[in-house]
Amino acid sequence: MSAEIPAGRSAPSPEEGRNRLAMKLFLLSLGMLFAASMIGYTVIRLRTTADVRIHLPGLLWVSTAVILISSFAIQGALSAVRDGRMTVFRRALLAGFALSLVFLAVQAPALMQVLRDHAALRAREVYLYALIFFLILLHAAHVVGGLVPLGIVTVRAQRNPAAYTPQRHGTVRAVTMYWHFLDGVWIVMFLLLQLLG
């Protein structure tokens, strides 16, 4: 079993071009969903009385660091498969998948903390925590959805070393695009919640 495959990038086929376009359109539609949700939260938050202060769980800082590192790992996997460094590719992909699970594991108690804070608030503040919970849960749901194809790609790469090559890695590229999108959405969302808190 060879760990390295000679790199050889060729022009994308028409099918690959269609797949890339489809992925970009999918991410654009998801981007509109997240943008509308964050704009809605911003408008509601700015109309709220100034003395209402939202406190976000500290674990969200940890989850932010984890999702950034997972995105770097998944990008590393894509770069490695493009260059034919298959051992590095499989390790980086596995690390990215594991870190994605860690992200969810950290997000779960943070969401529970938001719910606990929500339950203890006066009526005028309750809806703000409900909106924060919704935004975080919306993102987490898309992470769970992304874990399915990421898991499939990871398992396939581990079981069948020839499944992806420098010439055939469109699925890895699509998963990487999706993961960078989720990373970007989370950073914007988290900064928005910190800024408006």
Going residue by residue through the chain (197 aa), what tens digit of pLDDT does each one get? Answer: 445 544 545 555 667 778 888 889 999 999 999 999 999 888 888 887 656 677 788 898 999 999 999 999 999 999 999 999 999 999 999 999 999 999 999 988 988 887 777 666 655 566 777 788 888 888 888 999 999 999 999 999 999 988 999 988 989 999 999 999 999 999 999 998 888 86
Q: What are the chain's domains? A: 14-42+58-196 (1.20.120.80)
Q: Taking the CA atoms of 132, 134, 137 and 142 in sequence, report the sign of the dihedral they define.
A: negative
Q: What is the pTM of this model?
A: 0.83
Give the separation between CA 20 and CA 107, rounded to whole angstroms.
30
* C-alpha 103: how far from chain center: 9
H-run or E-run covering 95: helix 86-119
196 to each of 4, 12, 47, how far by Cα in Å?
49, 44, 11
Backbone angles phi, psi at 14, to 5 degrees: -55, -35
Whose CA is closest to 193, among 115, 114, 122?
114
Residue 147: other Cβ atoms inside 10 A: 17
Whose CA is closest to 171, among 183, 156, 160?
156
